[in-house]
Structures are given as C-alpha cells and as structure tokens.
Amino acid sequence: MQSENIKEDSARPEPAERTGNRSKKHYPEDFKTVFGLSTMNWIEVCSGAFMTGLFLLYLTDYAGIGAVAASLGTILLVAGRILDAVDDPLQGYIMDSAKPRRLGKYKPFIIISIIFTALAILMLFSIPQSVASQSALVIIWVAFFYIMYDMATSFFAVSPLMQSLTDDPVIRSKLTTWPRITGMIIVIPMAFFVSIMTGLNNSIGDMHRTFSVLTAIFIIPATIISLLGIALVKEGQHLDVKKDEKISMKEIWLMFKANKPWLISTLAAVFNGFVWTLVFATSTYYIKWAYCTDLATGVVDSARFGSLAMVLGIFQLLPTILMAAISPWLVKLFKGPLKVYMRSMGLQVIGGLGLFVSMLLGVAALYAILKMSFGL
C-alpha cells in the first residue's frame, strides 16, 4: 500500500515555480513533454488522412491493378472494421498486461506502432508493377499491408500514456488540446496532395510512380518527427493493480445491455466512421467524375481535378481545425461537453441533409462559385 502511494505521488506534477513574472512549468506541463505529445502523433494523423481520403482513389485510378481495385478496396474497408472489433480488445489486453520496461509500459508499443504504420502506408501506396499485373498477388499484397496498418495503429497507446503522466483532469485536458491542434495543422498539406501530384508528375511522367514518390515525401518526415516526439516524452508511473477475477463474455454482454449510454455511444462511433469516410473519401471521387472527367472519352482534366481537390480539402479541414481550437471555450460556454456534443450532432445533421438535397437537385454551389471566380 505504501509503495502504491509513492508511485501515485511520483506521478503527480510539481507546482510551477515563478521566476520573475514567468512561471516555470514542471513535468508533465514542461515544454519538452508538451512538444513531444504534440508531435508523436504526426504519422498517425498523416496515415489516417491517406487511408481515409486517398486509399480508394489510389487503388482504382493510379495503382494500375485493374477492375479488381473497386471490389478489393470496398471489402478491405468493411473487413477492417470487423478486424478492429476483434483485435482491438486483444491488443489492448496485451498492452495492459505488459510489464513496465526501461522506456515505460506503453512507449515501446507506440514506437512499434509508428514504425509499422509508416511501413504499411509506404507499401500500400507503392504497389510494384510486377505485383499489379497479377490479381492474386495484388490481393495478398494489399491485404497483408492493410492488416499491418490496422494492427499497428491499434498499438498507438496515446491515451494510457497520457493517463500515466498525471491524474489531474485539468492538466490532462490541457495536454490533449495541443496534440489536437497541431494534428489538424500538419494535415493541411494533405489538402494540396492531388494538386502537388499533378505538378510533380510533369517531371516524372508516370502518375503511379508520382503518387508513390509523393507519399514517401509526406510519410518519411512525419515518421521521423513522430519518433523524435515520443523520445521526448517521459512515461509516468503505473499502479500495480491485481485482478482477482477475470471478466467473462457474459459480463461484457451484460455491461452493454445495462449501460445504455455506452451502447448508444458505441453505435454512434460506428455510424460516425461511415460518415467520416463518406465526407472525405467519396467526395474526392465525386468532384473528379462529376466535374473533371469527360465521360465520353474517360479523359481526366488533371489540372482542374487538382484545383478542386485542393479547395475541397481546405473546406474540409478549416472547420475541423477551428473547432479543435475553440472546443475548450465552447465547453465552458455551454457548461459541459455533453451540450457541445449535442449541438455538434445537430450541425452535422443540418449540413449533411443540405449536401444531400443539393446533390439530388443537381446543385453544386461551391463549384458554381469557383467557376465564376476563377474560370475553372
């Protein structure tokens, strides 16, 4: 009991010391820790943007794997969600059962996650021509590295790592704000990916190779920065909690049955995943085939596609960055996160219905404005 108290005390941050008019922040609010937390997720953010907005586009239009691409991409997205439901609890159990090492309990898993996430993305967006020419090899290649990506991201144990730094909810809230903001900022260049790719292809002359080269240009620096970031974070202490009883599947089922808010939240998270994919992935296809392709010949106006994809990316990212920055203020204004969350859901419903109706009516207000303003 005494040893547990010592561990708890060591995890608590010391009060800030004042030097003149400035206060010197101590662990875990010191600059080194905050900077590390704000940069170690860069590969996760970039890889998520690639998989959400560009993976299907690469498979169907740039990988050179033929008609199998559309079916393969769709099956993988569905299978990935099923795999998450199975392997996430298992990987969580593995991490929670691990003993703290010299680097900590969760940092080794995060390092593994960063390295294998980067490797998987580089391989998924660089299918060799020798593989692309054979459907069976394509399926094996893509499935293998997709599973690698899915499992690697599940080992990114950022939440338990942050919880080990302090048990103060106010400090925890502060520590999660900067990673959100920096994560949104560093993903901004993804809005210009198609536009940059079009320009870069003028020198390379092969869209398949250009896509792969540009992917490496984005992913490799993000990986290096993420590794440097996690190296700066000193993991906190963990209490040795002994479990006398194991949780059975029946108890898990009863937990879902009895805890209605948790059940609804879980279902909402699943639905939100579909909405996210719809907004970020399918919208790129929509502008390409609706506004940038001659359907009679199949010729794509790459310059127009790059420009519209850039504008679309900006309109997708700016609200996300803005809300990440002002969400703490909104929580204070509405006196709690629940009311903010409810208003957020309402805005999403209104915006989604508006987009749906505009598409049914054939109205493309954004495109009309762009065409009048820039002659696109």
> Does residue 35 have a pLDDT over 90?
yes
Whole-angstrom Cα distance, residue 183 to residue 175?
13
pLDDT surpasses 90 at 223? yes
Q: Are residues 294 and 164 in the same domain?
A: no
Q: Structural domain tally of the chain?
A: 2
pLDDT band, residue 255 (cuts 50/70/90): confident
Res 98 pLDDT > 70: yes
Same domain, 235 and 298: no
Q: Is residue 308 part of a domain?
A: yes
pLDDT digits (tens, 9 = 90+) for 339-362: 887 887 787 778 777 767 766 665
> pTM to 2 decimals?
0.75
The residue among 121 and 199 whose pLDDT is bigger is 121
Quick check: 304 and 292 in contact, CB under 8 A? Answer: yes
Report the alpha-carbon distance of residue 158 to residue 45 in Å, rounded.
13
Per mean pLDDT, which range of 43-47, 193-197, 216-220 is the poorest? 193-197
User: Is 8 within a domain?
Assistant: no
265 lies in the same domain as 289: yes
Q: What is the pLDDT of residues 76-89, one digit of tens each?
A: 877 777 777 777 77
**pLDDT at position 212:** 94
Q: Mark out the alpha helices in the chain (DSSP H runs).
A: 2-11, 31-39, 42-53, 55-57, 68-97, 107-124, 129-132, 135-154, 158-165, 169-186, 193-204, 207-232, 249-258, 260-277, 283-291, 302-333, 337-360, 365-374
Q: Domain span at residue 115?
A: 23-240
Asked, for residue 17, whether it belongs to a domain, the answer is: no
Contact 233, 178 (CB under 8 A): no
Q: What is the CATH number of the domain that holds 128?
A: 1.20.1250.20
What local confidence, expressed as pLDDT, does residue 278 receive?
65
